Structure 1
Amino acid sequence: MEKFSQFRDRGSGIAPFLPIPSESLGLQAPLRVFLFCFRLPFFIFVTFAYFAILQWLPIGSLGKKAALWCILGVPSIWWIDLQVDGVKKGSLSKQQQARLPQPGSVIASSFTSPIDAIYLAAIFDPVFTAAYPNTRQVERISLLQAVIRAFAQPSSQPEPGTQLVDVASLVAKYPNRPIVIFPECTTTNGRGILPLSHALLGVPPKTKVFPVSLRYTPADVVTPLPGSYISFFWTLLSKPTHCIRVRIAEYVTNSRSAIDAPPARSTRQSTYNSNYLDTLEDEAEGGVTAGEKAFLDLVGESLARLGRVKRVGLGVKEKQEFMVKWSKTRKTW
């Protein structure tokens, strides 16, 4: 992978766009082939049944969530390790619901796999949006579109004719559902947090923003490469089980006091590096105030801490360049 070394973060050496290699089949080859062939028809059936029929029927939120859990159940995504900031294990039911994303709030989620959107839909029944790096508006999308975007080419700006809306208008329009934003704008391999979209700056001042990190074990069910349908479904359906590690940080708000505040030096050790600081300077030139930048930093730091990774200075533009070079030397499948 030396030919792709230019797409490693200068400060940390992290390469967020390279695929994570799967373990060799070895003696497990017969078992994995059997699991894939056995699960594939069931997976196609439950997925088609939900997106073609069930989601349009008046079965209520619980019925749709049950159908989504069936989709997660076929590849045996069972053991879900959930941790919430400030809540001890086993005591979540005794805590106030304010520690979890709730209707009227915004979820700022990491973005590594199509499973992200399905899991969030099965738990929170949210409204999904697509974010772009340098605009504060978002595109309202469906769950299926959110899943497909995990396989899509990175895009630095919306396609002509795309209808963009303010996050504030979505919060007002859907008071009984949370809003999901994938602020990194494109998928990664889960080893770094990309610079966050300005879409988060469109969140109303008093609206709660919950950073949510989703990580997988084994870690190779991620889709940093666009169009990697075959390899993803093979990995997903051929392995005996998968585990999701869900980490939810305490909420933050894009308050006016924070936006108008002067820049302050923090003595706390940060997870971003010189390459990321260069990116922040570029954002400042793009009309982001010191307070707004501090808000994006806070969300980014939370996502990095939850995922136990670092923030990197590589974004959508660098991934587009990476895919151009990758497509010239390798095939995505």
Structure 2
Amino acid sequence: MERFSQFRDKGSGIAPFLPIPTESAGFALPVHIFLYVCRVPLLIIFALSYFLVLQWLPIGIWGRKAGLWGILGIPGIWWIDLQVDGVKKGSLAKNSTKFPEAGSIITSSRASPIDPCYLAAIFDPIFAATYPHTKLVERISLFTAIYRSFTHPKLEPAYNARLVDLETLVKQNPDRIIVVFPECTTTNGRGILPLSPSLLTIPPRTKIFPFSLRYTAPDVTTPIPHCYFTFMWNLCSKPSHCIRIRVAEAIYNTSKPIPATKAATTTAVSSSYTTNYFDTLGSDNGVSSDADTLVSSGGEDQEASMTREERAFLDKIAEALARLGRVKRVGLGVKEKIDFIAMWATSRSRR
């Protein structure tokens, strides 16, 4: 793998795009083959039944969650190790405010198609796809979130994509949790990529919960696109899998000023005889200006225009994800992964 040394992070030496090799089954190979042959047809039938029929029926949230837990249970994902910062084991019910609730946002690491499936089974959230050079996101379905774990990364959204900022998405769905994968692509779980600037549009009063999901064995990650057979073999041929979930305490977007309350604004405008006229100018223009800037900067590089507060906010979330996953941050992003995939495909075709 020395020919891929250019895709190792210079500071840490981590290669976040290399697939993790599968351990040899040895004498247990017949058992693995038996499990694979039994589970794959059942998993395909159950998944098709859910995405084509069940999710469209009026079965409610608990019905959808039960269907997703069935999908997770077939390949043997039984053991869930959950830890929340600042909460002792067994006391999560007494500290419900330290766990995502309606109106909050989850920023999760992204390494496997299991990530969105597990989060959907727990929270029934809305998924938003992020991109590295825009503050806008694209609302996607659970199936699309799973499928994109197998596809090539994208630097820009499709020309016909319906884009919106996270603040608007939160306001439109106050009773739902929103899940964002800010790394914009999958990794092998051994590093945290630079985060999307879309997180900068989160309202300052919205709770942001960094999530880290890691797997034992770790070979169910999909850093290489279209690795369907390899993923299915690693997932269905082993007796069981463990998901280790770590949740950080809520973080707030300190890069945006907290807006004045409606009451204060009303008072300032209504007292026309005692209020300086020039103090009220620009209150509406400021909002429209920010919105215009946000839309016009959809395809531009946001890195150079970030303020110190914005960089510090993104760094805080990235550090939380790295700490939770016990990994390091890397300087490689979506562009480097695209170059890596091109070299990987070329090297495989020469064999």
Question: What's the TM-score once normalised by structure 2's chain length?
Answer: 0.86
| 3-state SS of paired residue (2:121) | helix
Q: Residue 78 of structure 2 aligns with which residue?
A: 78
Q: Residue 199 of structure 1 aligns with which residue?
A: 198
Structure-2 separation of matches of 1:19 and 1:285: 29
Residues 154 and 319 of structure 1 are in contact (CA less than 8 Å); yes or no, is this contact kept in structure 2? yes
Q: Residue 329 of structure 1 aligns with which residue?
A: 347
Q: What are the residue-to-residue correspondences of 1:158-173 with 2, within 5 Å?
A: 158-173=157-172
CA apart distance, 1:217:
0.4
The unaligned stretches of length 5 or more in structure 2 are: 259-300
Structure-2 separation of matches of 1:228 and 1:315: 20
The unaligned stretches of length 5 or more in structure 1 are: 260-282
Q: Residue 313 of structure 1 aligns with which residue?
A: 331
Q: What are the residue-to-residue correspondences of 1:185-264 with 2, within 5 Å?
A: 185-256=184-255
CA apart distance, 1:255:
2.8
Q: Residue 306 of structure 2 aligns with which residue?
A: 288
Rg larger in structure: 2
The answer to which of 138-147 and 285-294 deviates more is 285-294
Structure-1 separation of matches of 2:54 and 2:173: 21
Q: CA-to-partner distance for each residue in 1:269-305, whole Å, 9 max, x for gaps?
A: xxxxxxxxxxxxxx88521110011000000000000
Residue 318 of structure 2 corresponds to residue 300 of structure 1: yes
Q: CA-to-partner distance for each residue in 1:122-147, whole Å, 9 max, x for gaps?
A: 00110001100121110000000000
Question: What's the TM-score once normalised by structure 1's chain length?
Answer: 0.90
RMSD: 1.3
Q: CA-to-partner distance for each residue in 1:44-83, whole Å, 9 max, x for gaps?
A: 1110111000000010000000000000000110110000
Residue 143 of structure 2 corresponds to residue 144 of structure 1: yes
Structure-2 separation of matches of 1:187 and 1:314: 12
- Matched residues, percent identical? 60
Q: Residue 64 of structure 1 aligns with which residue?
A: 64
The answer to which of 155-164 and 302-311 deviates more is 155-164
Runs (4+) of structure 1 moved beyond 6 Å? Answer: none
Residues 116 and 142 of structure 2 are in contact (CA less than 8 Å); yes or no, is this contact kept in structure 1? yes
CA apart distance, 1:91:
1.7
Q: Report the CA distance shift for 1:330/1:169 in structure 2 as closer, same or farther (over 3 A).
A: same
| 3-state SS of paired residue (1:293) | helix
Residues 212 and 325 of structure 2 are in contact (CA less than 8 Å); yes or no, is this contact kept in structure 1? yes
Residue-pair matches, total: 307
| 3-state SS of paired residue (2:220) | coil
Residues 214 and 246 of structure 1 are in contact (CA less than 8 Å); yes or no, is this contact kept in structure 2? yes
